[in-house]
Chains A and B, each alone.
Chain A
């Protein structure tokens, strides 16, 4: 039983600051991390591995060479091997080309996969597109926003509890299939220091553009259908009134009067 988890390394966006003059991101001091939703996807995979004996987990990422750090984190948390899809020719890929590249890389490295898990979205781009696009390219059934991923006892079917607008639905599909993952009910694991050390002995293989056989003009920026034409800081909002150093009683009265004033209370 082979599970492939597609992951992405992202800047820790809570710390991102924008240069007010150029409107571009200040990269200085911003750490790269494993996208949290990808970590949840891995969580689901590791749970399946704990439940079923013969499960192996391959993690795959497309990115610059330093994306290896994100693979290492996955190896610490229980993945068995890593695949780093890296080539300068991949640079500038939009979600479509990213999906195309990853799909081909999966076909190339783990052709006999049973289940592909991806995070529901990445916190830098937030497009939530790459997962479904990979599923389409590989002609797989897809289930999005999964919070519980289970297998039938025969391991022929996947059973996913997914978030929908009004609550939850449980959806089944026959393997191979792709599931995009949200946070499950498990509390995140912390690897032991021993796992941190042994992760560095697990295999990570590199895949380049030549390995995939996709024409160069269909890769990276060249192959992208969308093009960013302008980047700018979001508009500033005006500041309202700020009340400080009030006792809770006073504060409640202030808010009460404000609500009355604005007719939210009759």
Chain B
């Protein structure tokens, strides 16, 4: 329940303006709240005088059972001309569908956008039963404050049992913020999700750089929330017979509530490479490539194979390639058809990011390199010697 400290309240009305549910009103010079309050927490955050607090009790099992359904935040690729659903969101719809079926509940897709062009029916084709559309001009591009506020409102009024986010930079920015506001448990970077016999979500994730796996539950409150790495779950089959109900969620958002402002954008031109997350072929560089200029050899091969260049954390930290091309625990998880690891020793942190590649070829001077344990084909040798020769062979044919 929302507690208002009238001693502290100055009636500045900022909370009234920011409440997504219009739950505040002033009566006899006192701030009051009505039953439309969902405890979404937006107001406690905007109040400058700490006059608003939310008291949350540990919920009983009956209380927990009131939360139903699996919700997926649909992340849009806002850099594209037309807003396009990110691949990871489709993967989550597939997994979310399974979880919802196991619970016998609905799958809800939530879309935050300013656009009228989002292909909402497709979300149904990929498994959603219901699509909640939150449309507002201020949702054109991602902002922590704007998205947190709207998503908290959606969650607190819909009470899902599970909320899933893609573990993308935005997903990892948004999910903890929402979790902290609603006081929810959150498990990051899950690689497996299942429902146990007590209808709880069991979330499995790598820890200690992938050296061990941990299974985690959130027993005391709902919804249970997780972020999931891209390329871990498959994209479900598109089924045009599965149609979703589309629901508009009215959004209250004012500009002052968004406290960060993007003043400059500098996107990397990727040439013949697409983003590594979606690449079919990746040639990845490790420390064994010795110097930045050698990476051209890898790039040549990547282009020949119709793929992109990627690299280990070491190579990114050396500044040889941008972070957008980093594979591994602190970079991107990839799942190409072919992954060629050149001079990568294969620390477990790297393996976490690429082990779901379908075919792995590793070249390394050290026959003991861990990468060879994953490789379908391992070659002990110097990648910088071997790869140009391989490129030549491909050229000649």
Direct contact of A and B (CB under 8 A): yes
Q: Among A25, A121, A135, which residue has its beta carbon within 8 angstroms of that of B208? A: A25
CB distance from B174 to the nearest CB of A (A): 8
A164 & B208 in contact (Cβ 8 Å cutoff): no
Binds B, one of A73-81, A205-213, A238-246: A238-246
A82 at the interface (CB under 8 A from B): no
A99 contacts across to B, CB distance below 8 A = 180
Looking at A94, A130, A167, A246, the one whose CB has the most chain B CB atoms below 10 A away is A167
A228 & B215 in contact (Cβ 8 Å cutoff): yes
B218 at the interface (CB under 8 A from A): yes
CB distance from B36 to the nearest CB of A (A): 23
B397 & A124 in contact (Cβ 8 Å cutoff): no
A126 & B209 in contact (Cβ 8 Å cutoff): yes
Q: Known interface pairs A141-B145, A254-B379. Does A234 touch B210 (Cβ–Cβ under 8 Å)?
A: yes
A25 contacts across to B, CB distance below 8 A = 208, 211-212
Binding site for B on A (CB under 8 A): 11, 13-14, 16-18, 23-25, 37, 94-96, 99, 120-121, 123-133, 135-137, 139, 141-145, 147, 159, 163-174, 177, 182-183, 185, 224-234, 236-237, 239-246, 248-249, 251-256, 258-259, 262, 264-265
B180 & A133 in contact (Cβ 8 Å cutoff): yes
B169 & A145 in contact (Cβ 8 Å cutoff): yes
B373 contacts across to A, CB distance below 8 A = 236-237, 239
Q: Known interface pairs A96-B186, A126-B189. Does A169 touch B262 (Cβ–Cβ under 8 Å)?
A: yes
User: A-facing mask of B366-388, CB < 8 A → 1, else 0?
Assistant: 01000011111111111001110
Complex Cα–Cα for A232 and B191 (A): 14
Q: Known interface pairs A95-B176, A96-B179, A265-B397. Does A167 touch B188 (Cβ–Cβ under 8 Å)?
A: no
A243 contacts across to B, CB distance below 8 A = 377-380
B305 contacts across to A, CB distance below 8 A = 259, 264-265
A123 & B209 in contact (Cβ 8 Å cutoff): yes
B255 at the interface (CB under 8 A from A): no
B218 & A226 in contact (Cβ 8 Å cutoff): yes
B189 & A127 in contact (Cβ 8 Å cutoff): yes
B217 & A16 in contact (Cβ 8 Å cutoff): no
CB distance from A217 to the nearest CB of B (A): 9
B184 at the interface (CB under 8 A from A): yes
Complex Cα–Cα for A232 and B208 (A): 12
B57 at the interface (CB under 8 A from A): no
CB distance from B311 to the nearest CB of A (A): 14
A128 & B261 in contact (Cβ 8 Å cutoff): no
A128 & B180 in contact (Cβ 8 Å cutoff): no
Q: Among A166, A182, A185, A228, which residue has its beta carbon within 8 angstroms of that of B324? A: A166
Instruction: Describe B's contact surface by its main secondary structure.
Output: mixed
CB distance from A15 to the nearest CB of B (A): 10
A96 & B390 in contact (Cβ 8 Å cutoff): no
B275 contacts across to A, CB distance below 8 A = 165-166
CB distance from A139 to the nearest CB of B (A): 5
B360 contacts across to A, CB distance below 8 A = 240
CB contacts under 8 Å to A, within B200-238, are: 202, 206-221
A251 & B379 in contact (Cβ 8 Å cutoff): yes
| Residue of A with least CB distance to B381 | A251
| Residue of A with least CB distance to B210 | A234
Binds A, one of B22-30, B112-120, B264-272: B264-272
B347 at the interface (CB under 8 A from A): yes
B185 at the interface (CB under 8 A from A): yes
B213 contacts across to A, CB distance below 8 A = 231-234
A171 & B386 in contact (Cβ 8 Å cutoff): no
A18 & B185 in contact (Cβ 8 Å cutoff): no
A234 contacts across to B, CB distance below 8 A = 206, 210-213, 348
A237 & B374 in contact (Cβ 8 Å cutoff): yes
Complex Cα–Cα for A239 and B378 (A): 9
Complex Cα–Cα for A183 and B326 (A): 13
CB distance from B101 to the nearest CB of A (A): 23
Q: Among A96, A167, A225, which residue has its beta carbon within 8 angstroms of that of B266? A: A167
CB distance from B375 to the nearest CB of A (A): 5
Q: Known interface pairs A16-B209, A121-B330, A262-B359. Does A129 touch B176 (Cβ–Cβ under 8 Å)?
A: yes
B211 & A172 in contact (Cβ 8 Å cutoff): no
Complex Cα–Cα for A240 and B262 (A): 47
B210 contacts across to A, CB distance below 8 A = 234
A163 contacts across to B, CB distance below 8 A = 169, 323-324
B168 at the interface (CB under 8 A from A): yes
Q: Known interface pairs A129-B188, A230-B214. Does A170 touch B268 (Cβ–Cβ under 8 Å)?
A: no
A227 contacts across to B, CB distance below 8 A = 216-219
Q: List 5 A-B contacts (CB under 8 A).
A: A37-B330, A144-B173, A166-B79, A234-B348, A265-B394
Looking at B265, B317, B393, the one whose CB has the most chain A CB atoms below 10 A away is B393
B208 & A136 in contact (Cβ 8 Å cutoff): no
| Residue of B with least CB distance to A37 | B330
A258 & B361 in contact (Cβ 8 Å cutoff): yes
B322 at the interface (CB under 8 A from A): yes
Complex Cα–Cα for A171 and B258 (A): 12
A13 & B211 in contact (Cβ 8 Å cutoff): yes
B379 contacts across to A, CB distance below 8 A = 242-243, 246, 251, 254-255
B259 & A170 in contact (Cβ 8 Å cutoff): no
